[in-house]
Amino acid sequence: MTSSPKNALRRSSREDVDRFLQQVRANSPPTRHEARGRLIFALDATASREPMWDRACHIQAQMFEQTAALGGLDIQLAYYRGYGEFKAAPWTAQADELLSLMSAIRCSAGQTQVARLLQHAVTQAGRGTVDALVFVGDCMEEDPDVLARVAGKLGILGVPVFLFQDGADPAAAKAFAHIARLTHGAHCRFDAASAAQLRELLCAVAVYAAGGRKALEDFSRSQGGEALRLTQQLGDGD
């Protein structure tokens, strides 16, 4: 019997979660030395992303909550939409400020601008430490060679990119996985049925950016679920 597309997507999402955890395990440093972590939280705000936008706002607030006890996390919101529009907010440690910015954004039809986003992260890393770039998007319409060149720069700068793919577009999956490899980050697919997994993994990445591997292990012990699976894999590698 042929599996339905919906079930196939759920199975692929589970496989991608496992692969994501393995990649984070392989690339997480033991500790961080700076007082605060810095994470760029980037979103595709084109029209296809509108159904998930409110959920992304809620997840962002939870990321702040999970990292507050670690000395906090500075986050810069970046997004693209419409006809060549790309914006990056100032760095902030205030959850309500960032949530207010996100809530004011309205999705608008346009082409993807992932290369521009990656170049922005390169520029930011040249001005100061950037511990991770998180990107949430669903499609890819750009030259893969251009993406690879800019992603390679981030890999050299030590900025891992964690890409969360909404849906199952094959071109996006291929490009996102390649970016993850070049930056020593990770790629994971999700859909509405796996939103809880997305929340846990995003919080885990934020904790990692704020406090390193030790903080990630402590977080996973308290949270269980996908984060606990990550701790177990880290333990296997010690």
pLDDT of residue 14: 53
Crossing angle of helices 225-237 and 5-27, rounded to 10°: 40
pLDDT of residue 116: 96
Residues sharing a CB contact under 8 Å with residue 43, sequence separation 6 or more, in sequence order: 49, 53, 56, 77, 78, 79, 102, 135, 136, 137
pLDDT of residue 178: 95
Bin 89: left if φ > 0, else alpha if -120 < ψ < 50, else beta.
beta
pLDDT of residue 204: 78
pLDDT of residue 123: 97
pLDDT of residue 223: 67
Domains along the chain with CATH numbers: 5-233 (3.40.50.410)
Place of tokens 């894999």: 233
DSSP designation for 82:
T
Strand order across the 161-166 sheet: 85-88, 73-81, 37-44, 132-137, 161-166, 186-190
Note the pTM of the prediction, 2 decimals. 0.77
Q: Note down pLDDT in tens along the chain; length 238 residues.
A: 333 333 333 444 556 555 665 666 555 554 444 557 899 989 888 766 666 666 666 666 666 666 655 557 888 989 998 889 999 999 988 777 777 777 777 778 878 999 999 999 999 999 988 988 999 888 899 999 999 999 999 999 999 898 888 878 899 999 999 999 999 888 888 766 666 677 777 777 888 788 777 777 777 777 666 555 544 433 443 3
